[in-house]
Amino acid sequence: NMKFAALSLLSLMGACAASPIRIPMKKRDDKEFLASRREFLAQKKDLTSSSSGGSVVVNNYENAQYYGEVSLGSPAQTFEVIFDTGSANLWVASASCTSSNCRSHPKYDSSASSSYAANGTTFDIEYGSGACTGFLSQDTLNWGGLTLEEQTFSEITDAGGMGIAYSVGKFDGILGLAFDEIAVCGDPNDGGYVESCVPTPFTRLHETGVIDEAKFAFYLGGLRPCFPECMDGYAGELTLGGIDEDHYVGDLAWVPVSKPAYWQITIDSFGVDGADYSTSDTKEAIVDSGTSMLVGPPDAVDQIADALGARKMAATGEYVVSCKKDLPDIEISIGGLPYTISADDLVLADGPICILLMLGMDLTPEGIGWILGDVFMRKYYTVFDMENEQVGFAVATNSSDY
């Protein structure tokens, strides 16, 4: 009922990993991120959710900052992908991609791979700015040194629906980490989507015993100051098959997934200075590594920005505030526990002004009120437990509160 499309056969090669596999992550430069985001917003793209025949998209990836490496084929063809908890399929640009925004990216060439197997099922995804289309293929996937043979993925032949977000983005594709339920295949205009039709790479790693635990976790580099590893190009880490206790302090607080599709949880409140801007219709949130912002209902975000003393830019819809202003914390209550986002985590300097890393988007038709993106995940080490359908949070060792 959700984001992407694919069909798969299950086969795997590789040794069992007794300890978590560490995937280094990279981060787009903050100035580059702001510039590309502003250009995207200036084009007045549709920032509401898009629905077509059961496909739902909650972001356009213009907000994505973190990415990492995978390879496909034999010999390996390398791609930088967003590890996205808000989707459940794997795609990269095809050698036959015709849209202009594919030009700056490496493209998968099936003719150069001895392990390629044709599939051909149609792939179609609707973004707020338009459609991305292609077809399914199978090949060997290497991810963090682990090998998955016959992994089904999508070759994109027209990425026009990604618009400028893909043209200027550092990422070449997406590797979805949501539940299999939102991995779909088929064409909404020709028979409709088929849901839960492809096991995700992470699901396959666990079900075939390559990793011991169906858990993965994100440790993301902060905005300011960057923790020391960033100096070596290391901006965070994704661990597969477990957690790293050195990346957080205290105990993990576990929150049940309210609907195993996205990583969706229920919040108690979302407020500033004691005022709650959530309503009975906006108590559901998704924890999404595919967006760097905090996202909420447009009216609520306008009110929160006002409470923070920020003003909205007419040309782009961004919220700006003086970098010298002493901002109150955003207060999110989840499972009866408080989670605060301070000004250091919430704004990004752009010359003499600071950009508020919040965005208004109406996702209530999908039963979602808020997206807790990288703004939240930078401060709170986040563990995704697929087997027990729960998410764990603890203060990260690189957060401003550590």
What is the CB-side half-sphere exposure of residue 148 using CA atoms within 13 A? 28
Sign of dihedral through CA atoms 243, 248, 253, 255? negative
Complete edge-to-edge strand list for the sheet that includes strand 347-350: 311-312, 319-322, 353-356, 347-350
Annotated catalytic residue 299:
no
Q: 158, 172, 288, 374: which is the annotated catalytic residue?
A: 288
Distance CA 63, CA 162 (A): 12
DSSP state of 306: H
With vertex at residue 347, the alpha carbon angle to CA 345 and CA 350, rounded to the nearest 5 degrees, is 140
287: left (phi over 0), alpha (psi -120 to 50) or beta: beta
Q: Both tokens of residue 49?
A: 């959710």
**Residue 128 in contact with residue 60, Cβ under 8 Å?**
yes
- Helix H or strand E segment including 68: strand 66-72
Annotated catalytic residue 172:
no
- Helix H or strand E segment including 31: helix 30-42
Determine how many CB atoms are found less than 10 A away from the CB of residue 233: 9
120: left (phi over 0), alpha (psi -120 to 50) or beta: left
User: Which neighbouring-strand residues pair with 394?
Assistant: 381
Distance CA 43, CA 28 (A): 21
**Nearest by Cα to 141 from 195, 194, 216, 208:** 208
With vertex at residue 137, the alpha carbon angle to CA 147 and CA 75, rounded to the nearest 5 degrees, is 45
Residues that are catalytic: 84, 288
